[in-house]
Chain A
Amino acid sequence: MPTSPPIDPSSGVPASELTLPPRLHRPRAVARALAVAECLFMSEAGPPPAERLTWLGRELDDFLERSGPDGRTGYLAALFALSLLAPLVGGQPRSLAAMPLEVRAQVLSRVEQGFASGLLLAVKAMLCIIYYEEAGAAQEIGFDGRCLVDSQAASERGQA
């Protein structure tokens, strides 16, 4: 049974190091990822709100910057390979971002059922993890696990 207080209640990584930077580190990679995200999260009502995608892009960029060279290289490689492969698989002579949303969805569906499904899963997984942390996106799918979505709520509970 622990008898001592937490290690050092006043220290820990400085809060300033945990905030998002003002500018993207990898704008091209983020644009590629958002071309997938816009289509992945498109509902019958159309693509997700632009500000939600912008938020997703900033979060993904920060994730890649902080997750270390091995994880980052793997993710960027999967994203790059997907952006090369998808037009080939879909028989489309243009980049994913340049395809209309419906065409993009068909192309990605084909990739998902083919030999490169693992690549798409890798890209999709991180996009989904971040996207459904956004309070609005979580609400849309009926998820109310407060400690897993809204950091403010989690923080209040942590201090309670």
Chain B
Amino acid sequence: MSGLKSVPLSGARRSDGGGDAITQGRLVDREVDLELDCDVVVVGSGASGAAVAHELTAAGQRVIVLEEGGYFRPEQYGAMRPSETLRHLFRDGGLTFVLGVGDSPMVNMTMGRCVGGSSVLTGGVCFRIPGSILAGWHAMGLTMFTEEALEPAYQAVERATHIEEVPIQMRSQSTLAFERGARRLGYELKPMRRNTLGCDGCGRCNFGCPHQAKLSVDIAYLPGALAGGARLVSDCRVDTILTHGERAVGVTGRLYNGGGLRKPGSHFRVRARRVVMAAGAYNTPGVLRRLGIGRQSGQLGRNMTVHPAFRMMARFDRELNGWKGALQSAFSDAYEHERITLTALYVPPGVLAATMKGIGPEHVEKARGVPRLSIFGGMLHDDPGGQLHHLLGRTFSTYRMSARDREAMVRITEVMAETYFAAGAEQVYLPILGMDPVRSMDDLRRIDLRRIPAKRFECSSQHPLGTTRMGVSPAHSVIDPNGACWELEELFVVDGGIVPSSLGVNPQQAIMTLATRIAWHLRERPLPKS
């Protein structure tokens, strides 16, 4: 960083629109190193970072948000095909894999890497933290997290992101088919709550809403923060935290203006009186680790839960055109006691076709059946079997599934297949690689699912949590209940990493709520002198 040229933010070349609020790092002159100054620097512009930036700006603090990914306007990402969104807005093009250790599945973990973070790519599903989970946190000593204490922050998030119930008439035929089976087996689907306003059910939420009807944080929080004076720099990767004595005093990193896509170029340094890490559960530990944080407790990058998720497809005798309708309109907690949540979903036809066994004419024949397919998902409230590792500046991860989760994975498969047969499906495609579809419950019973290696289960995750978990003791956690890092003053963590256990339900509302609660605490806490 020696020879860093000091350039105020206003001296950097701006995005072509000339607006003051956003500087796109990729457009900054390669010869220019940035040096910026603020009260609070927020690393990451996703669900948690945007909520914190919004709250602190409203409280009059000078905030700079730094985001590794690019800045795509809603009209831009809304016009992309899924594979375009994958390559531009997802981390690693959606190809991040968590290695299964022992008899565990390989997990395809997807995350956002853009202004707005993973929030731009959600299905919009929102849940408050279930009471049973809060009870578990209380057992860990986190007794401050009660329904009543969280209520104001819940309400603030629900207002800002407009969380509403999905009307029953927006359920797709795919969801209705599954629901028929559920009813016959004696359980109900409940309406999902989502952060939407004016949703028309076009079903492409996971690739960015083209109508700005999903109130992801680039729509719900960042505009207000930027209008209130916050500044955002995109295409810039934070590598290290600057310290002075025992205190965090800023961050440094590189801008992606090195020529060519995603090539680091010039350096930047942001001096701040307070540092807030919101880079996501998968990324924050890598930055903290460079400072040696986490050695004391040994917990940094550990305890990762992922909510392993499994998709089940079933073919019916008629066309369902399941892509028409709200993407995730209903769920069931009927199997909560087995730590399973069932959720409606839909994925693009290419993904459906890819997961069905077959090459050539066999593949084509199955792909032609896509309009007749229904699809439903099951998610596990898992034990903390994941861990992050760092090698040569890169992060990779491993996941060891517990024995009871292994059993629950089989139960998810059984429950969803049984539901589909009860609904009258002709064929059910189990989430098992290379397996032919099953045609009846008898077929299903003949397969010993418990003997099939976990590696053959097709598993995905969108919810890494817990890698910088909060707790009441520095011996067992990385941050305290107010988001403060135990080992460095004025360093706070607010992202999904702080969630101390798996939630069993989609986490964005919980993450935004916890981040809002921490922001309110920071609002009251005097900033240290520069």
Residues in A lying within 8 Å of B, measured CB to CB: 1-14, 17-18, 39-44, 59, 62-72, 74-75, 101, 105, 108-109, 112-114, 117-118, 121-122, 124-133, 138, 140-152, 154-155, 157-160
Q: Would B73 and A132 count as touching, CB distance under 8 A? A: no
Query: Looking across the interface, which residue of chain B has its beta carbon closest to that of A140?
Result: B368
Q: Would B456 and A5 count as touching, CB distance under 8 A? A: no
Contacts of B219 in A (CB 8 A): 2, 6
Query: Looking across the interface, which residue of chain B has its beta carbon closest to that of A133?
Result: B81
Q: Would B93 and A72 count as touching, CB distance under 8 A? A: yes
10 A-B pairs with C-beta separation under 8 A: A4-B226, A11-B24, A13-B70, A18-B76, A70-B92, A113-B357, A129-B83, A154-B81, A157-B210, A158-B74
Contacts of B323 in A (CB 8 A): 143, 145, 148
Q: Would B81 and A144 count as touching, CB distance under 8 A? A: no
Q: How far is the CB of B219 from chain A (nearest CB, A)?
A: 6
Distance A63 CA – B22 CA, assembled complex (angstroms): 26
Q: Would A132 and B24 count as touching, CB distance under 8 A? A: no
Distance A140 CA – B261 CA, assembled complex (angstroms): 34
Q: Would B87 and A112 count as touching, CB distance under 8 A? A: no
Contacts of A159 in B (CB 8 A): 75
Q: Would A7 and B22 count as touching, CB distance under 8 A? A: yes
Q: How far is the CB of B245 from chain A (nearest CB, A)?
A: 35
| Beyond A108-B359, A129-B354, 9 additional pairs, beta carbon < 8 A | A1-B197, A13-B70, A18-B76, A18-B88, A44-B364, A126-B83, A148-B82, A155-B78, A158-B79
Distance A159 CA – B78 CA, assembled complex (angstroms): 9
Q: Would A148 and B93 count as touching, CB distance under 8 A? A: no
Interface centre among A17, A105, A141 (most CB of B within 10 A): A141
Q: Would A67 and B87 count as touching, CB distance under 8 A? A: yes
Q: How far is the CB of B154 from chain A (nearest CB, A)?
A: 16
**Does chain A have a CB within 8 A of B444?**
no
Q: How far is the CB of B447 from chain A (nearest CB, A)?
A: 15
Q: Would A3 and B324 count as touching, CB distance under 8 A? A: no
Q: Which B residues, 321 to 374, have Cβ-Cβ distances below 8 Å to chain A? A: 321, 323-324, 348-351, 353-355, 357-364, 367-368, 370-371
Interface centre among B22, B95, B197, B226 (most CB of A within 10 A): B95
Q: Would B96 and A71 count as touching, CB distance under 8 A? A: yes
Q: Would B204 and A63 count as touching, CB distance under 8 A? A: no
Q: Would A4 and B79 count as touching, CB distance under 8 A? A: no
Q: Would B368 and A142 count as touching, CB distance under 8 A? A: yes
Q: Would B359 and A132 count as touching, CB distance under 8 A? A: no
**Does chain A have a CB within 8 A of B178?**
no
**Does chain A have a CB within 8 A of B405?**
no
Distance A82 CA – B262 CA, assembled complex (angstroms): 28
Distance A2 CA – B215 CA, assembled complex (angstroms): 8
Contacts of A40 in B (CB 8 A): 359-360, 363
Contacts of B145 in A (CB 8 A): none
Q: Would B360 and A125 count as touching, CB distance under 8 A? A: no
Contacts of B80 in A (CB 8 A): 151, 154
Distance A47 CA – B26 CA, assembled complex (angstroms): 41
Q: Would B19 and A8 count as touching, CB distance under 8 A? A: yes
Q: A44-B361, A113-B434, A133-B83 are in contact. Are A68 and B319 (CB under 8 A)?
A: no
Query: Looking across the interface, which residue of chain B has its beta carbon closest to that of A13?
Result: B70
Q: Would A11 and B433 count as touching, CB distance under 8 A? A: no
The interface size bin for chain B is 35 or more
Q: Would A151 and B223 count as touching, CB distance under 8 A? A: no
Q: Would A141 and B73 count as touching, CB distance under 8 A? A: no
Query: Looking across the interface, which residue of chain A has its beta carbon closest to that of B93?
Result: A67
Return the 3 tightest CB-CB contacts between A and B, nearest first.
A67-B93, A11-B17, A71-B92
Distance A9 CA – B212 CA, assembled complex (angstroms): 13
Q: A128-B353, A133-B350, A158-B79 are in contact. Are A151 and B84 (CB under 8 A)?
A: yes
Q: Would A63 and B354 count as touching, CB distance under 8 A? A: no
- Other-chain contact of A130, B88, B96, B350 (Cβ < 8 Å): B350
Distance A148 CA – B222 CA, assembled complex (angstroms): 26
Contacts of B94 in A (CB 8 A): 67, 71
Distance A117 CA – B350 CA, assembled complex (angstroms): 18
Q: Would A74 and B97 count as touching, CB distance under 8 A? A: yes
Q: A12-B73, A72-B93 are in contact. Are A145 and B360 (CB under 8 A)?
A: no
- Other-chain contact of B324, A6, A41, A108, A145 (Cβ < 8 Å): A145
- Other-chain contact of B367, A65, A71, A141 (Cβ < 8 Å): A141
Q: A13-B24, A40-B360, A133-B81 are in contact. Are A1 and B160 (CB under 8 A)?
A: yes
Q: Mark B419-443, 1 if CB is under 8 A from A, else 0.
A: 0000000000000011000000000
Distance A6 CA – B77 CA, assembled complex (angstroms): 13
Q: Would B96 and A158 count as touching, CB distance under 8 A? A: no
**Does chain A have a CB within 8 A of B202?**
yes
Q: Would B24 and A142 count as touching, CB distance under 8 A? A: no
Q: A12-B15, A13-B76, A128-B350 are in contact. Are A59 and B83 (CB under 8 A)?
A: yes
Q: A68-B93, A72-B93, A151-B81 are in contact. Are A12 and B76 (CB under 8 A)?
A: yes
Distance A144 CA – B95 CA, assembled complex (angstroms): 26
Q: Mark B375-396, 1 if CB is under 8 A from A, else 0.
A: 0000000000000000000100
Q: Which B residues, 291 to 332, have Cβ-Cβ distances below 8 Å to chain A? A: 319, 321, 323-324
Distance A142 CA – B373 CA, assembled complex (angstroms): 12
Contacts of B368 in A (CB 8 A): 140-142
Contacts of A64 in B (CB 8 A): 93
Q: Would B351 and A118 count as touching, CB distance under 8 A? A: no
Distance A97 CA – B370 CA, assembled complex (angstroms): 29
- Other-chain contact of A11, B22, B87, B95 (Cβ < 8 Å): B22
Q: A117-B456, A132-B353 are in contact. Are A66 and B87 (CB under 8 A)?
A: yes
Q: Would B70 and A10 count as touching, CB distance under 8 A? A: no
Q: Would B74 and A6 count as touching, CB distance under 8 A? A: yes
Q: How far is the CB of B491 from chain A (nearest CB, A)?
A: 26
Q: How far is the CB of A145 from chain B (nearest CB, A)?
A: 4
Q: Would B357 and A158 count as touching, CB distance under 8 A? A: no
Contacts of A151 in B (CB 8 A): 79-81, 84
Q: How far is the CB of A88 from chain B (nearest CB, A)?
A: 17
Q: Mark B146-165, 1 if CB is under 8 A from A, else 0.
A: 00000000000001101000
Contacts of A17 in B (CB 8 A): 26
Q: Would A117 and B360 count as touching, CB distance under 8 A? A: no
Contacts of B18 in A (CB 8 A): 10-11
